Structure 1
Amino acid sequence: MNLYELLSNRCERDLLAKDQLHAINFSNLPPSGDATILPPVGVTIVARNPIYLLQQLLTLDGCVHSMLLLSPSLGREAIVSLMRDVGTLTLLTDREDLQDLVGEVELGPRNLETSWLLTTSGTTGIPKVVQHTLRSITATTKIANQVSESQPRWGLLFEMSRFAGLQVAMQALLGGGILLAPTGHDLAARVKFLIGEECSHLSATPTLWRKLLMMPESDQLRLKQITIGGEIADSHLLNALRQKHPNSRVTHIYASTEIGVGFPVNDGIAGFPLDYVTGSSGTKLKIVEGVLWAKLDDARSVIAARHIERDSEEYVCTGDRVEVKDGRVLFLGRESSLVNVGGVKIQIEEVEEIIRQCGVVADCTLEAKKNAFSGAVLSLLVSLKHTDFDHNEAKKNIRDWCRLKLQREAQPATIRIVDSLEMSSSGKIVRTAGRK
């Protein structure tokens, strides 16, 4: 089964997706090629416009051996390197600066199981590639047999070339809904489009949700479903979302490119119930030395990439540190963000969560810089809830808060106030590499 066939229950006139200028339905798509035998073809797709990417996925899935989906934010050198490493040497793109690399694809019949090659969402270096299939990507997608009158209207704020973006797109399309995919970097303009198109379902990272909560225009969103993924969803954020959107269902999705969709949490509380670890179906979990390991059932298996750590029982190391407290498994942060300050181990994400609760703070990120005497020192970048706050007074409030709430080693040595924190193309805060 391929993506085109999975959508075969949709009428040719059904709107599938739209942005500010374009719309797509089945009448936009070419048929598959003749029933001839073609050599295995691997295709790389680099798409700034989600509608362009969707057209390519619907056209190519089942007709080519593999599709390597790359972020449009990647530089030319990284793109060429990944194409060479993976062997998908034919490029399709809507980026003008890459047109000299574009090749032609001869479509065969839709009788192949196409490999979907996705990249991890790291913020530094060339990303790593993980191999999926349409089966693993859509394993948890609720497929509608027919389009209802009250179609879910899914807003897309993730890059669609990422695993999280594909999850939104697949749920919108296969769930009988419409994908709303505004383009551009101006978040306010994208939100305005979603409001005008009556977006009812929206998925974003915690970083993006915090930005949305600070935007007055987001009050006009009438959401039925709020989905959070990609980073830790702390109780402060969950409570703020429930307060602003009291009629919405709030779901935290635990997923990654490496393991696919692990499990959803719908109770509106940070972390997940401990009985998820002892459950016998779906995603099997275990905690080893404070780190979460996950094992998917066969229907959602992902072919291992070289960088994925597995044990003898085929559990995958997620790299997420957790603790069990009052029958709840709470996320502490990534193993890679545990730093040593003056002989004390500090979890960066835990400190950030505490600082965000300071009354003047909208969002923040900590950088750990190497220090010959203490191992590392912490430097805080922070954006304020109101731009007219006096910076000196705000810094004093933050320092007082840190002294009250944090042990001495976890208190930032320096504080720098910025207009906004830099986000990666995956919607996460950009963090400094090499903390340890």
Structure 2
Amino acid sequence: MLDTLTIEGETFTYDAIRSGAYATTPMSPYTQHTLEFCNAWLNGQTQFTVHTSGSTGVPKPIQLGRTQMQQSALMTGKALGLTQGQRALVCLNTQYIAGIMMLVRGFELGLHMTIIPPSENPLKNLKETYSHPTPFDFVALVPMQVQAILKYPTGTPWLNDLQVVIIGGAPVNYALAKALKPLRPQVYVTYGMTETVSHIALRQINSSSRAEEYQLLPGVHMRQDKRGCIEIQSPTTCHQWITTNDLVQLTDATHFKWLGRADRVINTGGVKVQVETVEQAIDEVMTEQGIQRRFFVASLPDHRLGEQIIVVLEGTPLPQNRQQAILENTAGLLKKYEAPKSMHFVAEFAETPTAKIDRLHTIKHLRKP
């Protein structure tokens, strides 16, 4: 039975956390609020308030029950084959559902937890002796962290020593997916949200079959509403149906392809265009041209089309000939009305607290005269 965890290099016993004895130790605010959650969990608290990240709207508080969170951890453990005694690195923000559920998985599955503050490159926050070989079996990351790790000198060997990697919080782009395919561990992209208590489906990105399809976790059911959006029922939703804004294609009872968000459809010239389709094409073109920048697709008012599709890139403007090449090559991969008309540049994207691009805030800034 495990009875200790390590956070920011300090080891705490479960008894000390449960009793609150850790409060006498000087610590960072991050360690403080993480141990406060651990204290509540170990003392059997039954209700928790978790805030959404705000990536698709205003952040909102959601009440989650202990049983829901326990069910989520057990479902993930079964799907990934996690077993008691395995070692987990917790490097996601423990104020939000992804980081919180890593803690819950640690407690419920009996995992050894090493907890560090979130950063772009978690390896820089680990002690030098942790760099290679890794003492971890399981880690959850966001795409930005994976990209940074792959660029790090010991990053690829470190990843290859893991057994399971899950990636969530944002889409995995063309270049990153290509880089992940040769890795040895099982690498999964997750699908879920705060309302479903983290992920309820996984897609193994380095699988030889069905690599583009998400598979539901055990006990999860799905259906589509009239819009074509997925509805979810699982133990993590207290067996109630949850309606989402995610457009999907169901391939069978347990597999689906994610197409994009219903609230990210642009009506241009009377034709509805799915933003994610355009982003995938731009991503492929920019990768092939060796351009690595964050970007997203949006629209601006147009007197003729109603909405004009645009691309917003982070950083300094590209030369006009490179912009034109990207737009022309992208148009070759898309239908006529799907092709973006222009490129716009913002020095630095606004971000949510979980490091996702805050598109709404960025666009508001872009539209200012």
**Which residue is equivalent to 1:74?**
none
Q: Tell me the SS of whatever aligns to 2:72.
A: coil
Match of 2:167 in 1: 228
Partner of 1:375: 306
SS in 2 for 1:138: helix
- Contact preservation (8 Å) 2:90, 2:99: no
Does residue 1:177 correspond to 2:105, yes or no? no
TM superposition shift of 1:32: 7.2
Q: Distance in 2 between matches of 1:270 and 1:48?
A: 41
- Cα deviation, residue 394, structure 1: 3.5
Match of 1:252 in 2: 189
For 1:219 and 1:236, locate their aligned partners in 2 and report how far apart those are by CA, in whole Å. Answer: 15
Q: 1:227 corresponds to which letter in structure 2?
A: I
Tell me what 1:295 maps to.
233
Supply the AA of the counterpart residue of 1:432.
L
C-alpha distance in 2, partners of 1:215/1:129? 36
Partner AA of 1:240 in structure 2 = A
Superposition pairs of residues 207-356 of structure 1, within 5 angstroms: 207-214=144-151, 218-222=155-159, 223-233=162-172, 237-243=176-182, 246-260=183-197, 261-266=199-204, 268=207, 269-272=211-214, 282-289=219-226, 290-297=228-235, 300-302=236-238, 314-324=240-250, 329-356=256-283
Tell me by how many angstroms 1:180 deviates: 3.5
1:152 is aligned, of 87, 94, 111, to: 87
TM-superposition CA deviations, 1:140-199 (whole Å, max 9, x none): 325799964xx413141x2211111112222234433343433365x24x3323473334
Is the Cα–Cα contact under 8 Å of residues 380 and 415 in structure 1 kept in the other structure?
Answer: yes
Contact conserved, 2:225 with 2:231, CA < 8 A, in 1? yes
Identify the match of residue 335 of structure 2 among 386, 407, 417: 407
Cα RMSD, aligned residues only: 3.7
**DSSP 3-state at the match of 2:279:** helix
Distance 1:194 1:348, change over 3 A: farther
What's the offset of the Cα at 1:214?
Answer: 4.9
CA distance in 2, matches of 1:399, 1:195: 45
Cα displacement string for residues 324-365 of structure 1 (whole angstroms, at most 9, x for unaligned residues): 469962111111111111211111122111211121333421
Paired residue for 1:105?
Answer: none
Q: Check the 8 A contact 2:313/2:344 in 1, yes or no.
A: yes
Question: Of 22, 26, 29, which aligns to 2:17?
Answer: 29
Alpha-carbon spacing, 1:59–1:174, altered in 2? closer, same or farther (3 Å): same
Using the TM superposition, give the Cα deviation of residue 397 of structure 1 relative to its aligned residue in structure 2, in angstroms: 3.2
Q: Distance in 1 between matches of 2:225 and 2:82?
A: 41
What is the aligned partner in structure 2 of residue 162 from structure 1? 96
Secondary structure of the structure 2 residue equivalent to 1:154 = strand
Query: How big is the shift at 1:396?
Result: 3.5
Deviation, structure 1 residue 420: 6.5
Aligned to 1:361: 291
Q: Once the 2 structures are TM-superposed, how far is the Cα of residue 60 of structure 1 from its aligned partner?
A: 3.1
Relative to structure 1, the CA distance from residue 25 to residue 161 in structure 2 (aligned partners, 3 Å threshold; closer, same or farther) is: same
CA distance in 2, matches of 1:378, 1:25: 55
Tell me which amino acid in the other structure corresponds to 1:331. Answer: W
Deviation at 1:430, TM superposition (A): 2.1
Cα displacement (A) at 1:314: 3.9
C-alpha deviations, 1:383-402, integer Å up to 9, x for none? 59xx9x97445423312321
How many aligned positions are there? 335
Whether the aligned pair in 1 keeps the contact of 2:195 and 2:237 (CA below 8 Å) is: no
Instruction: Label 1:60 to 1:345 Cα distance change in 2 as closer, same or farther (>3 A).
Output: same
SS in structure 2 of the partner of residue 183 of structure 1: coil
Does structure 2 retain, via aligned residues, the 8 Å contact 1:339–1:376? Answer: yes
Gaps of 5+ in 1: 1-8, 34-46, 63-109, 303-312
Deviations 1:300-340 (A, max 9, x none): 335xxxxxxxxxx9421121011246996211111111111
Alpha-carbon distance between aligned partners in 2 of 1:331 and 1:401, rounded to the nearest angstrom: 24
Higher helix content, 1 or 2: 2
- The structural deviation recorded for 1:423 is 3.9
How high is the TM-score relative to the length of structure 2? 0.76
Which residue matches 1:17?
6
Give the drift of 1:208. 4.3
Q: Distance in 1 between matches of 2:341 and 2:34?
A: 47
Match of 1:5 in 2: none
Please say if residues 192 and 217 of structure 1, whose CA atoms lie closer than 8 Å, have aligned partners that are also in contact: no
Residue by residue over 1:257-301, the C-alpha shift from the partner in whole angstroms, topping out at 9 and shown as x without a partner, is 11224233347412325xx5xx9x61110022311001113xx33
Segments of structure 2 that go 5 or more residues without pairing to the other structure are: 22-26, 364-369
Identity of aligned residues (%): 17
CA distance in 2, matches of 1:146, 1:412: 48
Return the offset for 1:421. 4.9
User: For the Cα contact (< 8 Å) 1:339–1:345, is it kept in 2?
Assistant: yes
Between the aligned partners of 1:217 and 1:383, the Cα distance in structure 2 is: 28
The residue number in structure 1 matching 2:366 is none
SS at match of 2:19: coil
Matched residues in 2 for 1:247 and 1:195: separation? 24
Distance apart, 1:17 and its partner CA: 2.5
Q: CA deviation at 1:417?
A: 5.1
Q: State the alpha-carbon separation in 1 of the partners of residues 65 and 51 from structure 2.
A: 14
User: Residues 138 and 167 of structure 1 are in contact (CA less than 8 Å); yes or no, is this contact kept in structure 2?
Assistant: no
SS in 1 for 2:358: coil
| Corresponding position: 1:57 with 2:37 | yes
Paired AA for residue 7 in structure 2: K
3-state secondary structure, aligned to 1:412: coil
